[in-house]
Amino acid sequence: MVRHHVTRFDPGALAVPAGYEAHSRGFRRAAHVDGSEGSVHAGFATCELAPGGEVEGHVHAYEESFHLVAGSAELTVDGRAVRLEAGDCGLVPVGVEHAWRNAGDEPCRWIEMAAPQPRDPRAEGTPDTVFLGTAPADDAVALDVRDPRTRTLFRLGPGQMELDDLNRGAPVDAPTVSASMATALLAYSGIAVKMLVDQRLGAQLANMFMVEYEPGGVAQPHDQPHDHPLEECYYVLDGEVELVADGRRYVLRPGDVAWAGVGCVHAFCNRGDRRVRWLETQAPLPPAAHSYRFNRDWDYLAERRPAGRAGEGGG
């Protein structure tokens, strides 16, 4: 069974999403992961807003997280507008009114994660996006990560994933990335993981984080793969990484997108000579325990079965 999908962002696939035609200007989206690939939890896409473009106020019946990868934008949340730059990211909770505007001279582009997976607006049934007709606010302010009103927004700036820079960082009472202090940097085996959107920012249905692999970095050796009771999406931003999924081998480069469904056995390895970085999401949120299942653990147990009972199985 194939429980994964590998694709690539194609600017030519950007198009006005169904239902947005009368409620936006200069807004386009390219879907990477939805139900057509086998996903049931994730809606993963790239969005673009042209200079002077906007999306009027609306609410979703799903949770939305985003990470700006190019340009700048103004995000209005509950009537308050904040200016965002590349590297900024955040969460729009279920049912919270928000709107987008690009007041700059360059297109703005962001990666978007929606959970649960949005409904097809062309199908019969209740819509899960409702437009309210309100325009984005005109008086946008710069993102202030110390303002408690922006605690669902996050800033990933230069050096934030460098261990040495982090150790020399600001005092605890002067956060530089988020008012929520959801700033932990995990580092192991040449890998750095930075949480961007999780429960500490208010997420209930999905998370988003940045991953960096040093040359030679591995999530698990290829002979020790793993899977999860959740879906993962990956968008490669820099470098080159090798992915093994369901026994198939891929080399992912900037602009490549991969999805691993529940039970997809997979592993990553950076065999190149430069650092690799990708944005990753998980939906649903990981459980409190057993979010990873490593084949090595169960192989070890099988190898230690008492002699003479190798053919016995459980029922």
Tokens read off for 308: 């003479």
Q: Does one domain contain both 15 and 146?
A: yes
Rounded mean pLDDT, 122-143: 89
**Domain limits for position 104:** 4-150
Residues 189 and 121 in one domain: no
Rounded Cα–Cα distance for residues 155 and 142 (Å): 12
On whether residue 19 sits in a domain, the answer given is: yes
* Residue 165 lies inside a defined structural domain of this protein: no
Of the two residues 106 and 311, the one the predictor is more confident about is 106
Tell me the average pLDDT across 29-40: 94
φ, ψ at 249 (rounded to 5°) = -110, 135
Nearest-angstrom CA–CA distance, 170 and 103: 32
pLDDT at 101 exceeding the cut of 90: yes
Within 13 Å and on the Cβ side, how many CA atoms surround 1? Answer: 9
Q: What is the pLDDT of residues 261-315, one digit of tens each?
A: 999 999 998 988 899 999 999 999 999 999 988 888 888 888 888 876 555 544 3
pLDDT at 141: 96
Looking at residue 211, which CATH number applies to its domain?
A: 2.60.120.10
Residue 166 has pLDDT above 90, yes or no: no
Do 135 and 204 share a domain, yes or no? no
Is residue 273, in this structure, part of any structural domain at all?
Answer: yes
119 and 35, same domain (yes or no): yes
Task: Pick the last residue of a domain from 127, 150, 173.
Answer: 150
Are 104 and 239 contained in the same domain? no
- Within a domain: 267: yes
The kind and range of the H/E element at 258 are strand 256-260
Domain end (from 135, 150, 165)? 150
Same domain, 140 and 212: no
173 inside domain: no
What is the band of 188 on the pLDDT scale with cuts at 50, 70, 90? low
Do 15 and 68 fall within a single domain? yes
> Domain boundary at 150, 173, 206, which?
150
Find, among 193, 209, 226, 218, the residue nearest to 272 by Cα.
218
Task: Tell me, yes or no, whether 176 lies in a domain.
Answer: no
For residues 47 and 126, membership in a common domain is answered with yes
Does the residue 175 lie in any domain?
A: no
| Residue 143 and residue 213 in one domain | no
With a cut of 90, say whether residue 190 has pLDDT above it: no
Residue 235 lies in a domain: yes
Entry field: residues in the chain = 315
Mean pLDDT within 58-69: 98
Helices in the chain by DSSP H: which ranges? 163-167, 295-303
Residue entry with tokens 């979010």: 291
Q: Are both 100 and 139 inside the same structural domain?
A: yes
The pLDDT assigned to 167 comes to 44
- C-alpha dihedral, 68 to 70 to 76 to 80, nearest 10°: 90
In the chain, % of residues over pLDDT 90: 67
Amino acid at 50: A
pLDDT in the model for residue 92 = 98
The residue to which tokens 């928000």 are assigned: 98
For residue 184, the model assigns a pLDDT of 58
Residue 218: the pLDDT is 67
Residues 27 and 139 in one domain: yes
CA dist 143 and 49 (Å) reads 19
- Rg (the chain; Cα; Å): 21
DSSP state string for 190-237: TEEEEEEESGGGT-SS-EEEEEEE-TT-BSS-TTS-EE-SSEEEEEEE
Number of domains composing the chain: 2
pLDDT of residue 78: 87
Give 267-290 as a DSSP string.
EEE--SSS-EEEEEEEESPPPSS-
Same-domain pairing of 128 and 246: no
Q: For the ranges 141-150, 243-252, 294-303, which has the lowest average pLDDT?
A: 294-303
Contacts of 88 (CB under 8 A, 6+ apart): 67, 68, 143, 153, 154, 155, 156
**Whole-angstrom distance, CA of residue 235 vs CA of residue 145:** 25
